[in-house]
């Protein structure tokens, strides 16, 4: 009872302190980005020999060879590609990779223009040889590198971007971003040519010196449905624009610089003259999204249920505070957190009592400039940003590898969404039919450490490491709250450097996710079986001449012809057997939505 009274008192004090800070906000150092960072801490964390390690490892990459590839490519190996399809696998997820590579090759061969040249690079992080051999024997891959142990997300991504890919553009698909085929999405002209359209758009914007509102370059397109609209506002979330008369073939010709003496020039010209695809001249609808890296706007770098403000505080420790133009963000680095999200400092205070019951799983960095999954980018611009931190020898936390790189990319660059339909009313980037070309199929099988018990050294400050904001952020937190940020002692930094708890954290997280997702997988499997049973029932009824009966008793069949009814049944059967997730079971991050 004493413990309960103490916790109740602490919570009451914290709520009082939160309300006090809302009414009397502290000041945020808005000009931090304009000051130089102290580089001394960087050298203590980043391994200076990592590029040499990757260069040596990349020498072991080989081209796959087999007389019975499951997927055929019209040109293999490709020596002068426009785009590199980049895959990174780990953690016994080869079955997902198998679907993803097969879907990508089919899409490139059957949907994209034949004059779009592509290569494939693949890094595997520590799967068994029997699993990786299956991929090598099944698919034509220019550079396949299988590592004997899991070297981490950063090492794999850096190998792909810096060492293995040679094309000027790179399409990052990890192992679980599958092309949205006809089973789950309308195959519009824009969706079928999305890779060629993306490269052509980026070339066209560069050629015509079209930038974001603040001069940042547009270096990529995200080819997935996204949530940027929930936490970015104009002008960081720009309006829909249109480029008319973009010649895909011309833009693709300018994206590479082939050797004039090579046979590739003749091959390219032949492909252009004999291409049977649709008209190469097209209009492209696009919308630019830029990270609000200043932390001064109405939205935070981190997402929030109510996008204009996020408050997170510990049930045990007092909160830390950030203020953005009167909007306050409270947060604390413990796993026992409660989130409150309100729109304004005063008018929404009553939401505090309502939101007290929402559990929060630490901050997810949401910077709208880069993603490791289903993102197409100018590869050289990513290289200019520097490598992703978190390689072996780096004292850097795995949890923040992608977030940190996204923040650094976003300091100088932006990326865009492409409307994949001619329906101008399709404006939401969260609608997969509007902007999605690839879909996440790894729901319920997460691999990276997040907030499992025992995870060490977690702090949002990692997101800013290597930028001018990093040192200023740490100073600001210390000066404002009296508590130092990045609570890692020297021993923990060494553990990070030596990867002593990377695998234990990742394993614990995978076990946690599997436990949470068990029921969702079961229910989804049951739904798939229902679809198969319904399809079989339709087939059997149609064979017995029962089409009219079906039209009478099934409302959606009322106006369908016999052939259309059979086609619907075939579609149900395909959907049941498809690797694509069924609607309603997983959110955009692959977390279970239905657990019982």
For residue 214, the 8-state DSSP code is T
State mean pLDDT over 106-129. 96
Q: Which of 523, 505, 532 has its CA nearest to residue 586?
A: 523
Q: How far apart are CA 545 and CA 540, in angstroms?
A: 9
Cis peptide before 235, with omega less than 30 degrees from 0? Answer: yes
Q: Is the pLDDT of residue 219 over 90?
A: yes
* C-beta atoms surrounding 109 within 10 Å: 15
Residue 445 pLDDT: 78
Q: Which of 118, 71, 19 has its CA nearest to residue 330?
A: 19
State mean pLDDT over 413-437. 94
- pLDDT (tens digit per residue) in 544-581: 999 999 999 999 999 999 999 999 999 999 999 999 99
Residue 270 pLDDT: 38
* C-beta atoms surrounding 591 within 10 Å: 16
Q: How confident is the model at residue 514 (pLDDT cuts 50, 70, 90)?
A: confident
Query: Which of these ranges, 26-40, 103-117, 153-167, 507-521, has the smallest mean pLDDT?
Result: 26-40
- Looking at the DSSP assignment, which residues form a beta bridge with residue 340? 311
- pLDDT (tens digit per residue) in 49-69: 889 999 999 999 999 999 999
Residue 333 pLDDT: 34
DSSP three-state, residue 304: coil
Q: How confident is the model at residue 342 (pLDDT cuts 50, 70, 90)?
A: very low
- Looking at the DSSP assignment, which residues form a beta bridge with residue 440? 177
Q: How confident is the model at residue 88 (pLDDT cuts 50, 70, 90)?
A: very high
Residue 64 CB partners (closer than 8 Å, separation 6+) = 135, 136, 137, 139, 140, 141, 144
For residue 323, the 8-state DSSP code is E
Mean pLDDT, the chain, rounded, equals 78
What is the b/e burial string over 412-437, where b = at least 16 CB atoms within 10 angstroms of the residue's CB? ebbbbbbbbbeeeebbebeebbbbbb
Q: How confident is the model at residue 28 (pLDDT cuts 50, 70, 90)?
A: very low
Q: How far apart are CA 146 and CA 125, in angstroms?
A: 7
* Strand ranges in 420-559 using DSSP code E only, listed in sequence order: 438-440
Q: How confident is the model at residue 324 (pLDDT cuts 50, 70, 90)?
A: very low
Q: How far apart are CA 291 and CA 410, in angstroms?
A: 5
Residue 336 pLDDT: 29
> Which string of DSSP letters, residue by residue, matches 369-390?
T--SSSEEEEHHHHHHH-PPS-
Mapping DSSP onto H, E and C, the string for 136-169 reads HHHCCCCEEEEECCCCCHHHHHHHHHHHHCCCCE
Q: How far apart are CA 403 and CA 371, in angstroms?
A: 9
User: What pTM did the predictor assign?
Assistant: 0.81
Distance, C-alpha 482 to centroid of its chain: 35
Query: Which of these ranges, 242-256, 308-322, 497-511, has the smallest mean pLDDT?
Result: 308-322
- pLDDT (tens digit per residue) in 129-158: 999 999 999 999 999 999 998 898 999 999
Q: Is the pLDDT of residue 36 over 80?
A: no
**Alpha helix (H) ranges present in 24-152?**
40-45, 50-58, 94-110, 129-138
What CA dihedral angle connects 214, 215, 216 and 222, to 10 degrees? 80
Q: How far apart are CA 281 and CA 95, in angstroms?
A: 38
Q: How far apart are CA 126 and CA 318, in angstroms?
A: 42
Q: Which position has the higher pLDDT, 456 or 358?
A: 456
State mean pLDDT over 74-103. 95
State mean pLDDT over 440-448. 79
Q: Is the pLDDT of residue 393 over 60?
A: yes
419's tokens: 């409307």
Q: How far apart are CA 194 and CA 383, in angstroms?
A: 23
Residue 27 CB partners (closer than 8 Å, separation 6+) = 323
**Which helix or strand (DSSP H or E) is residue 242 part of?**
strand 237-247
Q: How far apart are CA 192 and CA 200, in angstroms?
A: 14
Instruction: Yes or no: say if 449 and 455 are a contact pair by the CB < 8 Å rule.
Output: yes
Cis peptide before 232, with omega less than 30 degrees from 0? Answer: no
* C-beta atoms surrounding 228 within 10 Å: 22
For residue 26, the 8-state DSSP code is P
Instruction: Yes or no: say if 77 and 119 are a contact pair by the CB < 8 Å rule.
Output: yes
Q: Which of 342, 336, 337 has its CA nearest to residue 313?
A: 337
Q: How far apart are CA 420 and CA 261, in angstroms?
A: 38
Instruction: Yes or no: say if 436 and 180 are a contact pair by the CB < 8 Å rule.
Output: yes
What are the C-alpha distances in Å from 101 to residues 88, 268, 443, 526? 11, 25, 17, 27
89's tokens: 């696998």
Q: How far apart are CA 250 and CA 19, in angstroms?
A: 59
Query: Given phi > 0 = left and psi -120 to 50 = alpha, else beta, which region is 155?
Result: alpha
């Amino acid at each position: 009872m004493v413990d309960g009274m103490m916790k109740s008192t602490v919570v009451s004090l914290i709520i009082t302190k939160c309300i006090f800070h809302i009414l009397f906000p502290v000041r945020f150092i808005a000009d931090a980005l304009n000051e130089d960072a102290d580089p001394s801490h960087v050298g203590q964390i980043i391994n200076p020999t990592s590029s040499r390690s990757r260069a040596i490892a990349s020498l072991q990459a080989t081209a796959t060879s087999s007389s019975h590839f499951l997927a055929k490519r019209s040109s293999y190996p490709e020596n002068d590609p426009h785009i590199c399809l980049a895959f990174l696998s780990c953690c016994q997820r080869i079955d997902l990779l198998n679907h993803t590579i097969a879907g990508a090759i089919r899409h490139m061969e059957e949907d994209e223009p034949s004059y779009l040249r592509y290569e494939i690079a693949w890094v595997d992080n520590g799967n068994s040889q029997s699993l990786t051999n299956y991929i090598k024997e099944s698919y034509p891959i220019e550079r396949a590198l299988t590592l004997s142990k899991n070297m981490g997300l950063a090492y794999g991504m850096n190998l792909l971007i810096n060492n293995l890919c040679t094309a000027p553009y790179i399409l990052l698909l990890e192992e679980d971003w599958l092309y949205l085929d006809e089973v789950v999405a309308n195959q519009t002209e824009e969706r079928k040519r999305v890779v060629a359209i993306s490269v052509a758009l980026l070339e066209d914007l560069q050629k015509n010196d079209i930038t974001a509102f603040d001069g940042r370059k547009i270096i990529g397109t995200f080819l997935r449905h996204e949530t940027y609209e929930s936490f970015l506002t104009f002008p960081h979330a720009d309006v829909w624009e249109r480029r008319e008369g973009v010649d895909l073939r011309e833009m693709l010709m300018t994206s590479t610089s082939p050797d004039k003496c090579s046979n590739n020039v003749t091959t390219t010209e032949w492909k252009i003259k004999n291409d049977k695809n649709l008209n190469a001249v097209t209009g492209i609808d696009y919308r630019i999204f830029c990270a609000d890296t200043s932390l001064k706007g109405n939205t935070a770098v981190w997402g929030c249920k109510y996008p204009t403000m996020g408050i997170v505080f510990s049930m045990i420790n007092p909160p830390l505070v950030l203020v953005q133009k009167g909007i306050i963000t409270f947060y604390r680095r413990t796993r026992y957190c409660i989130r409150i999200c309100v729109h304004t400092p005063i008018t929404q205070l009553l939401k505090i009592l309502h939101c007290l019951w929402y559990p929060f799983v630490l901050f997810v960095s949401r910077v709208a400039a880069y993603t490791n999954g289903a993102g197409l980018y100018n590869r050289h611009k990513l290289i200019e940003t520097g490598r992703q931190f978190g390689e072996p020898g780096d004292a850097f936390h795995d949890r923040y590898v992608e977030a940190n790189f996204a923040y650094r990319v976003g300091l100088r660059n932006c990326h865009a969404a492409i409307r994949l339909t001619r329906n101008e009313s399709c404006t939401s980037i969260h609608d997969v039919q509007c902007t999605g070309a690839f879909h996440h199929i790894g729901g319920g099988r997460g691999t990276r450490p997040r907030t499992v018990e025992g995870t060490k050294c977690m702090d949002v400050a990692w997101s800013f490491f290597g930028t001018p904001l990093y040192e200023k952020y740490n100073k600001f937190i210390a000066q404002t709250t009296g508590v130092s940020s990045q609570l890692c002692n020297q021993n923990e930094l060494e553990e990070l450097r030596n990867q002593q708890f990377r695998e234990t954290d990742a394993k614990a997280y995978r076990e946690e996710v599997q436990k949470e997702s068990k029921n969702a997988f079961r229910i989804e499997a049951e739904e798939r079986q229902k679809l198969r049973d319904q399809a079989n029932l339709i087939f059997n009824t149609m064979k017995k001449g029962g089409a009219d009966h079906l039209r009478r008793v099934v409302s959606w069949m009322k106006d369908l012809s016999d052939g259309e009814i059979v086609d619907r049944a075939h579609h149900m059967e395909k959907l049941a057997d498809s690797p694509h997730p069924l609607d309603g079971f997983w959110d955009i991050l692959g977390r279970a939505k239905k657990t019982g």
